[in-house]
Amino acid sequence: MNTDPKARRPGGALAEADVAQRLAEHAAWTLDQYPVEPAEGKKRFHDFDLPSELLHAVCDMGFKYCTPIQALSLEHALAGKNVAGKAQTGTGKTAAFLVAILTRYLRTPEARHEKGGAPRALVIAPTRELVIQICKDAANIGKYCNLRSLAVYGGMDYERQKREVTDAPVDLLVATPGRLLDFVRSRVVDLSKVDTLVIDEADRMLDMGFIPDVRSIVNRLPPKEKRSTMLYSATLDDAVMRLASQWMEAPVKVEVESEHVATKMVKQIVYVVTANEKFTVLYNLIQQYPDSRMLIFCNRRNTTEDVAESLARRGIRCEMLSGDVNQNRRLRVLEDFREGKIRTVVATDVAGRGLHVDDIGFVVNFDFPYEPEDYVHRIGRTGRAGQTGTAISFADEDESFIIPDIEKFIGEELKCTVLQNDDPLLAKLPPKPPRHDGGGPRAEQPHTEQPRGERRQESARSPRHEPPVTAAPRDTAAGVQETAERAPKAEQPEPTRADTEPAAALRPEVPVAPAAPARETKPAAMPAPRRAPASAPAQPAATAPRRAPASTPAQPAATAPRRVARFSEEWVPGEK
C-alpha cells in the first residue's frame, strides 16, 4: 500500500527549526511555572525527581497528579526494576512507561546509537492504532527531549517505513509484532542494542495469537539480565505471568483496581428498547447533543455500515471504522475525529482498545458487546484523564443477555430505563431523502465481508437493490461473493439476483413476454448453448409448485422477511 508522501506520520525526525524553537522555549521555562500543591494520598510528578524537560511537557499536557498505575510503575521502574503491571486502557499506563524510558535516556545521552535501525527502547503493541497512539504520546511527553521516536506497523508503505528506520538514529521504536519481525528478518532493524523493552496489552497478544512472533522478537534482544523490561496487561493471570517470568528477571507485580478505575468517571445508562427502536433513539440522541463527540459501537461490520449510511442520509456527518476500512482512510478518520472535523464515528471493536481521543462526550453501545471486558474497553473511551463522560447502551430482545455478566465484572448494577412512548428519544424520524445512485458510505466501501449468519445477510443485502436496473450491476460482485460463500447451490446468477431484489417490485416484471424472446434472439451465433440452459428453467417456471422445494434461491427468499423485522422499517435504507 502506497502512502501519501505528504502524510504526516507519528514520530520521526523534526526539522532543525522546530528543534531550536522547542529548546528555546524550554530554556525560558522554570519549575515555578508548574505549581502543584501536595495532596494526601496522591503522588505528584515533582516527587520523582524527573528531568525538567519531562516536567515541562507534563505541565503543558495539564497533568498534576499521577494516576495509581503511574505512581506504582514509576517508583519501581526509575529504581531499575522490572515491572509487570495490571491496568486497563485509560489508566495512564502509557505515560508511566514513557516517562521511565525518557528519564533514563536523558540521564545517559552517551549511550545513544549513532546509526539508524538500532533502537535503544522497543515497545511492542498488538494493534496499529495503539502503536500510533503510543508514538503520539511519546512525541508529546518527549517534546523538549530532542529524542526520536518512530512507529512501525503493517498496512502502510513498507519502503517508506524502511527509510525512516534506517536514515537516522532511533531512540524509541514502537511496533506491531508482524511488521517488526519482517524488518528484523530482512536486517532492516537491529535489536541487539535494545536496553528497554515494553510489552503493552500482553493479554491481547495472547488472544490474538501474537505470542510466537513476540517470542521470536524477544529472542533477538540482549538477555533479560542486561535489559529493563516492563509488561502491562488488563489481567495478570497465570498465562500472562508465565510470559513475564520468561521475559524479565524478578518482576515486581503492580496492580490497580482497573475495572472500577475505567468506569467510575463514566455515567452509565441502559435504555430498554426493541431492536426496531434502536436507530430512532440513536438519531434523536445525536440531535439532542449535536456538539458532542460521539463514538458508536456495533458488533458487526454490516451493522456498522448500515448505521453510518442511515445517519448520513439523514444529514448527520459521520464516519465509519471497521475491518473493511483501509489503513490510510482509518488514520484520516481518527485524525478528523481528534480535531473535531467530524463528531460522530460508528465503529466495530477495532477502535475499542488503545485509542485516545480527548473529550469524547458519549460512547453508545448500539449492540451490547459479547464479552464483559469489551464493555469496559468501549466505555473507557470516555471519562478519561479525570474528565466525566456518558456511556449509553441499548438493551433489546436479542442482545441484553450479557448484562448480568457485565454487572458482575464491574462490580455494580446497571440501572435500566424503559422509554415511554412520549419520550423525545422516541420521536418519529424525519423522512429519508431519496437515495442517489451509488450514494452513502457503501459507494466508497463495497461490502465484501464474509457472512455473519444468513438472517443478518438478508437484512443488510435487501436494501441495496432499491433501483432494480442500476443497482444490480453495482452489487453483482458483492452479491455473488456473499451467496457463493453461503452455499454452493446459490451459484446460478439469475435466481440469486431475483432473490436479493424486492419481490413486490420485480414479480410483475419477471413473466413479461417480450423479455424472453429478446434474450433468445440476440445470441444468434451460439443458439445451441443458449437454448439448453434456457429450456431447463423454462419448464420449472410453469410448474413452480413442484420445483420450489428443490430450487436453491427459494429458501433464502422465504427467510428474508424474518430478518427484516430485526430492524426498523424507518431505518433500513431502501426498505418499503
pLDDT digits (tens, 9 = 90+) for 415-444: 899 998 899 999 999 877 666 544 444 433
Mean pLDDT of 240-253: 91
Q: Which three cell numbers stand for residue 549?
A: 422445494
Q: In this structure, what DSSP letter does residue 422 have?
A: T
Stated pTM of the model: 0.59
Q: What is the pLDDT of residue 410?
A: 86
Average pLDDT over residues 327-339: 83
Q: Which CATH architecture has domain 261-426?
A: 3-Layer(aba) Sandwich (3.40)
Are 264 and 411 in contact by the 8 Å Cβ rule? The answer is no
- pLDDT tens profile 347-375: 988 655 556 777 899 999 999 998 888 88
Residue 241: closest CA among 430, 82, 61: 82
pLDDT at position 316 is 93
- In CATH, the number for domain 16-256 is 3.40.50.300
Same fold, 16-256 and 261-426: yes
Which three three-digit cell numbers place residue 34? Answer: 508548574
Q: What is the mean predicted confidence (pLDDT) over 18-28?
A: 91
Looking at residue 35, the DSSP 8-state letter turns out to be: -
Is pLDDT larger for residue 122 or for residue 388? 122
The whole-number pLDDT of residue 109 equals: 82
Q: Angle, to 10 degrees, between the axis of helix 327-339 and the axis of helix 128-141?
A: 40
Greater pLDDT, 479 or 235: 235
pLDDT mean across residues, the chain: 76
Percent of the chain with pLDDT over 90: 42
For the chain, the structural domain boundaries read 16-256, 261-426, 450-501+558-576
Contact 469, 456 (CB under 8 A): no
